Amino acid sequence: MAIQIYELCGADETNLFSPHCWKTRMSVAHKGLDHESIATPFTSVATVEGGDSRRVPVIRDGDTVVEESFKIAEYLDEQYPDSPKLLHSGVDKAMTNFIINWSQTQLHPLVARMAIMEIHDALAPADQEFFRTTREKVFGMSLEDFATKMAATPDDLKKALVPLELTLKGQKFIGGDTPHFADYVVFGALQWLRICKGEAVLPQEGAVANWFNSLLDMYDGMGRAAKAA
Amino acid sequence: MAIQIYELCGADETNLFSPHCWKTRMSVAHKGLDHESIATPFTSVATVEGGDSRRVPVIRDGDTVVEESFKIAEYLDEQYPDSPKLLHSGVDKAMTNFIINWSQTQLHPLVARMAIMEIHDALAPADQEFFRTTREKVFGMSLEDFATKMAATPDDLKKALVPLELTLKGQKFIGGDTPHFADYVVFGALQWLRICKGEAVLPQEGAVANWFNSLLDMYDGMGRAAKAA
């Protein structure tokens, strides 16, 4: 039976853009498992699986419900030990936390600065209101002000990606010869930007571009099948 | 027999400040091995062990000579398999490359911006000349101009360390429960700053401060025994 993944969606329910949900979608595919996406607008997240979760991704695998992409990866490795591992040992799990924190503090804010209005505009009206209220509280300014005053460029992104660019010059994946959960973490951030803002703002050449393209093509092109803005 | 480590030194031969050499010094101690430092001024690096090496650290272990801190860590794990590992598998080795590239592109330039004149001033006259010529070529300006125009603050450092701060809030070391070669990589950068510029510019509280202090205290306080400016 396919694993059900509750994923954030836009006004168009096939627009599944969330970086965190992409981590899980890629994780499930990595394990060779099928998935069924359950499109979940921002304003429905609180009702997922009886309302225990305040965020997605959440998965349901038969009778088991798991929340949060890292915990889901651990669950998948434990439940499906015969398929390729997402996380190998306590050591690379620990180091993955660094990659997660790097991605969320160095890349996610840039995606917001590059695409905040596009993210907003793709949502249904009720979700736009929710998104605006919660984000404006964090930013301390209107989305429109944030978009202009904090605007970031593809060059800013390229600069932030330098540690990854240098790393991928010498190895195929963050995890070495094969993709690791840490690869999907960073992939999620760039896929979010690709879906919301389009491919032109992503690195067009170099090691990160090649790596990202190879991940888009994996699993029968699952990542590439998601429409870029 | 102690492992000999060729390490960069200042005009004072006990001033062993190099971030890369600290990676190796901590690696050797991690393996429970003794070391003997061979103080090596910049202008003598080219003559180390017959002149094959253009940089330090270089180690001599009996008849074996190994250059470069990552390769030295791999050598130590292979040669001394019964003591705690520095690197565990191909996966955490690959992820360590990301940490190295992060440290060298996000922390090392800040150390230079905070302490370039102090690094220079601590060298012997011939090494000062070498250091000035090579660095001014890279910077495209005099050391003095670099120190003023590019000056960075402890707050800049704190900001750059955010991904590490968040990570170490949830785990003792970058490698998890015990230190990993990746911990020594980042330790080296901060120890370099501590020795050249003093302790006051380092984070004074928080997870990174606690982690750095715990590493300074390890191995009979080897790191703390190195005099801070």
Q: What is the per-residue pLDDT for A103?
A: 98
Per the document, the length of chain A is 229
Domain contains B71: yes
Q: A74 and A101 share a domain?
A: no
The residue in chain A having the minimum alpha-carbon distance to the alpha carbon of residue B106 is A163
Q: B214 and B121 share a domain?
A: yes
* CB within 8 Å: A92 and B91: yes
Q: B113 and B40 share a domain?
A: no
For residue A153, give how far its alpha carbon lies from the nearest alpha carbon of chain B (Å): 19
Domain contains A84: no
Cα separation, B125 vs A10, in Å, equals: 65
Q: What is the per-residue pLDDT for B53?
A: 75
Confidence category of residue A129, pLDDT binned at 50, 70, 90 = very high
Mean per-residue pLDDT for A45-49? 91
Residue A23, amino acid: K
Residue A102's domain comprises 90-225
Distances (CA, A) of A197 to A103, A111, A153, A229: 18, 9, 12, 5
Confidence category of residue A54, pLDDT binned at 50, 70, 90 = confident
Q: Is B162 on the interface with A (CB under 8 A)?
A: yes
Place of tokens 């030194």: B9
- Selected residue of A71, A87, A88, A92 to mutate for chain B interface (largest B Cβ count, 10 A): A92
- The beta-carbon neighbor of A94 closest among B106, B162, B175 is B175
Residue finishing a domain among B59, B79, B99? B79
Distances (CA, A) of A7 to A30, A59, A181: 18, 9, 18
Q: A46 and A141 share a domain?
A: no
**Cβ pairs A/B, distance under 8 A:** 93
pLDDT, tens digit, for every residue of B209-221? Answer: 999 999 999 999 9
* CB within 8 Å: A163 and B102: yes
Q: A48 and A68 share a domain?
A: yes
B77 neighbourhood in chain A, CB within 8 Å: none
Q: Is A138 on the interface with B (CB under 8 A)?
A: no
SS (H, E, C) chain B: CCEEEEEECCCCCCCCCCHHHHHHHHHHHHCCCCEEEEEECHHHHHHHHHHCCCCCCEEEECCEEEECHHHHHHHHHHHCCCCCCCCCCHHHHHHHHHHHHHHHHHHHHHHHHHHHHHHHHCCCHHHHHHHHHHHHHHHCCCHHHHHHHCCCCHHHHHHHCHHHHHHHCCCCECCECCCCHHHHHHHHHHHHHHHHHCHHHCCCCCHHHHHHHHHHHHHHHHHHHCCCC
End-to-end CA distance of chain B: 32
Q: B37 and B12 share a domain?
A: yes
Q: What is the per-residue pLDDT for B20?
A: 98
Average pLDDT, chain A: 97
Residue B184, amino acid: Y
- The beta-carbon neighbor of A106 closest among B92, B96, B163 is B163
Q: Is A221 on the interface with B (CB under 8 A)?
A: no
Domain contains B154: yes
Mean per-residue pLDDT for A61-65? 97
Cα separation, A76 vs A71, in Å, equals: 9
pLDDT, tens digit, for every residue of A212-225? Answer: 999 999 999 999 99
Domain contains B85: no
Q: CA angle, B111 as apex, B97 and B25 as ends, to 5°?
A: 55
- The beta-carbon neighbor of B91 closest among A102, A106, A175 is A175
Q: Is A97 on the interface with B (CB under 8 A)?
A: yes
Q: What is the per-residue pLDDT for A21?
A: 98
Residue B144, amino acid: E
* CB within 8 Å: B166 and A101: yes
Domain contains B11: yes
- Selected residue of B30, B92, B159, B161 to mutate for chain A interface (largest A Cβ count, 10 A): B92
Mean per-residue pLDDT for B57-74? 97
B98 neighbourhood in chain A, CB within 8 Å: 99, 163-164, 167, 174
Q: Is A65 on the interface with B (CB under 8 A)?
A: no
Q: Is A95 on the interface with B (CB under 8 A)?
A: yes
Q: A153 and A111 share a domain?
A: yes
For residue B147, give how far its alpha carbon lies from the nearest alpha carbon of chain A (Å): 23
Cα separation, A36 vs A14, in Å, equals: 12
**Torsion angle in degrees (nearest 10) through CA of B68, B73, B78, B79:** 80
pLDDT(A53) > 80: no
Q: Is A106 on the interface with B (CB under 8 A)?
A: yes
pLDDT(B52) > 80: no
Q: How many CB atoms lie within 10 A of CB A205?
A: 7
Residue B183, amino acid: D
Mean per-residue pLDDT for A50-78? 94
Q: What is the CATH number of the domain that holds B212?
A: 1.20.1050.10
Q: A69 and A166 share a domain?
A: no
Q: What is the per-residue pLDDT for B50?
A: 84
Q: How many structural domains are present in chain B?
A: 2
Q: A115 and A43 share a domain?
A: no
Mean per-residue pLDDT for A147-167? 98
pTM attached to this predicted model: 0.97
Domain contains B179: yes
Residue finishing a domain among B22, B50, B79? B79
pLDDT, tens digit, for every residue of B126-153? Answer: 999 999 999 999 999 999 999 999 999 9
Q: What is the CATH number of the domain that holds A42?
A: 3.40.30.10
Mean per-residue pLDDT for A169-178? 98
Q: What is the per-residue pLDDT for B101?
A: 98
pLDDT(A50) > 90: no
Domain contains B84: no
Contact criterion met (CB below 8 Å) for B119 and B17: yes
Q: A149 and A194 share a domain?
A: yes
Mean per-residue pLDDT for A61-89? 97
Q: B74 and B94 share a domain?
A: no
Domain contains A221: yes
pLDDT(B192) > 90: yes
Mean per-residue pLDDT for B92-106? 98
Q: A133 and A208 share a domain?
A: yes
pLDDT, tens digit, for every residue of A106-124? Answer: 999 999 999 999 999 999 9
The residue in chain B having the minimum alpha-carbon distance to the alpha carbon of residue A93 is B176
Mean per-residue pLDDT for B64-90? 97
Per the document, the length of chain B is 229
Which one, of A37, A36, A68, A38, lies nearest residue A52 by Cα? A68
Cα separation, B187 vs B215, in Å, equals: 8
Residue B8 phi/psi, 5-degree rounding, is -60, 145
Residue finishing a domain among A44, A79, A114? A79
